[in-house]
A and B are shown apart, each in its own frame.
Chain A
Amino acid sequence: MPNMSLNKVPMPEQEPDVRNRNFKEVALGYTEEMAVEEAKRCLNCKHKPCVSGCPVNVKIPEFISLIAEGRFEEAYLKIKETNNLPAICGRVCPQETQCEKFCVRGKKGEPVGIGRLERFAADWYMAHNDPETPDIPKNNKKVAVIGSGPAGLTCAADLAKLGYSVTIFEAFHTPGGVLMYGIPEFRLPKELVQREIDTVRKLGVEIKTNMVIGKSITIDELKEEGYEAIFVGTGAGLPNFMGIPGENLNGVYSANEFLTRINLMKAYLYPETDTPVKVGRNVAVIGGGNVAMDAARSAKRLGAENVYIVYRRSEAEMPARLEEIHHAKEEGIIFKLLTNPVRILGTEDGWVKGMECIEMELGEPDQSGRRRPIPKKGSEHVIDVETVIIAIGQSPNPLIKSTTPGLKTHEWGGIIVDEETGATSIPGVYAGGDAVTGAATVILAMGAGKKAAAAIDQYLKNKNA
């Protein structure tokens, strides 16, 4: 008999007042009993609507049935058939707009906690097994993958499984891309990312760090070195600023810089580690996406008393996941909605002392379909802050574009590709993830990496046929 409870089995979490002072993971994960109980809520629908909502087509009802039967290892292996990074997806995928959105149980009550179960299976396997070294026959064809974020890791893993000799080139000293520098420890523990990267390495993928493609070596030179195909998964690394007065004052960060200092450089352990980060008593984070929530919650954990999310539309238009907004509120983040910064105010010696804002009201829907915010005359006011973090989005990094003749991009920087294959304007060069779409999600990047891997395999088979 299925478990007909309307609600998901609750996930244990650290208490808000405790967790907003540490960087440990917020959600603690299911026990075996909880997982089995939740798995039993799945109706095992024949038409599998959930799978159609998954960018990498995880065999959802199958793996959940295995959990319900207590066959946890098999459940994990079932997920791994199509998803190379389950422990990560189980944590950071927006399930509410993907698999769980289509879950039949969601029509009345909450959908099955697919993400929580995926996470459980991955964590259970990691706790009970070491990554295996599979025996894959090599086809002696070299493929280069640029960037070791979710798109690159997925593409590399899929190609390695097909026998290709894959080398990943990473600009930073540590692989993982946004999983390492962007998403905070309390949402995605780095040890776990490391484990997932290790499983990709076990497939025979070589990762070369400290390699800035376009500077250390170009795409054309990689071809000369015998790489027969190249996948570009360089992400959206260029921070956008607002262009308002005061943005260069001391105490103003791009969210990229703020989060990179904390996550990649581990500034939250400073002075045990050497990279500092400055957080004032009052902090304003500008923006309403997941990155803004991550920055705000990180600032709180670093000791800020008042952390404001300053967003020019209302909560309904916020691009952040509901869960992230909910967690941020629980942790005491103050939401200043329908508020837009006009300028940042500084002290005489150049430090942030406040931010002038203007109130907004919502007008007619704009191109994005969201109601356009309009400034309210005479509503200017100043909030006292010492730190301002700008989290209004990132654009693709122009390094590859500027050093690869013939690579076509959109005006805003995204690489132009064939949507089905990820093929760029240069034969043999593929791209996917945020470098193509602009800042999006981990799972969409993984989906793009997967498609490109299949297309690269086809391309090389045809080429050598």
Chain B
Amino acid sequence: MFKILEKRVLNPDVKLMVVDAPVVARKAEPGQFIILRVREGGERIPLTIADYDREKGSVTVIFQEVGKTTKLLGSLNEGDYILDFVGPLGMPSHFENVKRAAVIGGGLGTAIAYPQAKKLHSMGVYVDAITGFRNKDLIILEEEMRKVSNRLFITTDDGSNGNKGFVTDVLKKLLDEGNEYDLVIAIGPLVMMKAVSNLTRPYGIKTIVSMNPVMVDGTGMCGGCRVTVGGKVKFACVDGPDFDGHQVDFDEAIRRQAMYRKEERQSLEAHVCKLEGTQNA
């Protein structure tokens, strides 16, 4: 059992939890993830490690309430326990000879881009951070991102924060202005990571994306997380989750993401009905 030490609501759908998990905290590195199970009968879901504190033995996860499991998780409070919490899984992000980096977070992806920006920044790398959200109410980790970057650009789809556009618009502008990067990290929805990778390809800038496919065990056992990278099949759980964005077959990944869409909706609807049932009782 893993105790929730702290819970914060970052926006109406996105929550942050600091979990007491010393074994995971001791080894965690940016880019790695955990798998958790909220309760008996629950599914195993992967969440990227957003932060960790080795001394306190705690691990931070940030998640969006999109399905039954994340809603259940979100309904827990400080002092409650998560049944299972295992990690750190996957390969840590690997940074070498980086001088100037653009770290891009799309929506919830900002939570995963944050530890990468933090790591790079602590290594003395010049970091331009770009984060994008649907509207200004959904902006998360603004202060945190600002602290670990040299410049932070926040953009919204509807322009409600005063900057209208996608993260790719910001990156394109920076590149057009002559900013040079030897690394771009893009983390967010598949379509966004695909767009960033397509943008950086002609510039020849190394672009790392973080894949978050369906998985069960997270240790290479099920193969459910197969992604095609450079024409070869990789398991995101053990070979990734970071991959070269210029090599990833995003169209396949987008199709594979839809595998359980019907079931996810069913589970969620049944869960919401039940909740409403209890509230009405």
Contacts and interface: CB of A to CB of B under 8 A. Distances in A.
Q: Do A and B come from one complex?
A: yes
Interface of A: 171-173, 209-212, 215-217, 237-239, 241, 247-248, 250-251, 253-254, 256-257, 260-261, 265-266, 269-276, 278, 349-350, 397-399
Contacts of B270: 271
A171 B41 contact: no
Interface in B34-48: 37, 41-44
B23 A272 contact: no
Contacts of B222: 239, 254, 256-257, 260-261
Given A237-B220, A257-B223, A397-B220, A210 B86 contact: yes
Contacts of B233: 241, 247-248
Contacts of B220: 237-238, 397-399
A266 B41 contact: yes
B39 to A, nearest CB: 9
B165 interface: no
Contacts of A276: 260, 263, 267
Interface majority SS on B: helix, strand, loop or mixed? mixed
26 contacts: A171-B86, A173-B37, A210-B86, A212-B89, A215-B27, A216-B24, A238-B220, A239-B222, A241-B223, A250-B255, A253-B224, A254-B223, A256-B223, A257-B222, A260-B222, A261-B216, A265-B44, A265-B216, A274-B42, A275-B43, A276-B263, A276-B267, A349-B258, A350-B255, A397-B221, A399-B220
What are the nearest 8 A-B pairs in CB distance? A350-B255, A257-B222, A276-B263, A210-B86, A173-B84, A237-B221, A274-B43, A254-B223
B150 to A, nearest CB: 33
B273 to A, nearest CB: 11
Contact of B260 (A239, A256, A278): A278
B272 to A, nearest CB: 13
Contacts of A237: 217, 219-221
Given A173-B86, A260-B221, 19 more contacts: A171-B86, A210-B86, A212-B86, A217-B23, A238-B221, A239-B223, A250-B258, A250-B259, A254-B223, A257-B222, A271-B263, A274-B267, A276-B260, A278-B263, A350-B252, A350-B255, A350-B258, A397-B220, A398-B220
Contacts of B223: 239, 241, 254, 256-257
Interface residues of B, number: 40
A210 B84 contact: yes
Contacts of A275: 43-44, 216
Contacts of A209: 84
A260 B216 CA distance: 8
B69 interface: yes
